[in-house]
């Protein structure tokens, strides 16, 4: 299953572009956060992680919507790999599946 994750960091930013792209990519479900990536607690991301099943793929608009830093992004990718979950970034054309 393709599962989307979208995030904006300020109230004046909108999720519409990300939502549309994730829907077009075939995501059956989309989790969202409206919080700075610098904050460790992101409810949408936490809910996303608990919803995985082996074989799922997380789809994101851009890598910076997922990780707080390169180190954090790599940790998340390793966590996904350990759960047999792929990652696809639409803007960077990255697909770990």
Q: How far is CA 6 from CA 27, 82, in A?
A: 11, 22
Q: Is 9 a catalytic residue?
A: yes
Helices (H), 1-97: 16-24, 43-50, 70-82
Q: How far is CA 95 from CA 11, 13, 39, 87, 90, in A?
A: 30, 26, 26, 6, 9
Residue 16 has a CB neighbour count (10 Å cut-off) of 10
Q: Which of 9, 65, 69, 93 is catalytic?
A: 9
**Residues forming the active site:** 9
């Amino acid at each position: 299953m393709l599962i989307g994750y979208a995030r904006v960091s300020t109230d004046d930013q909108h999720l519409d572009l990300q939502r549309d792209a994730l829907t077009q990519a075939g995501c059956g479900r989309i989790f969202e956060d409206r919080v700075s990536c610098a904050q460790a607690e992101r409810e949408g991301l936490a809910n996303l992680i608990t919803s995985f099943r082996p074989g799922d793929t997380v789809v994101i608009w851009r890598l910076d919507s997922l990780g707080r830093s390169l180190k954090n992004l790599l940790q998340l990718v390793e966590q996904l790999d350990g759960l047999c979950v792929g990652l696809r970034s639409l803007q960077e054309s990255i697909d770990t599946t």
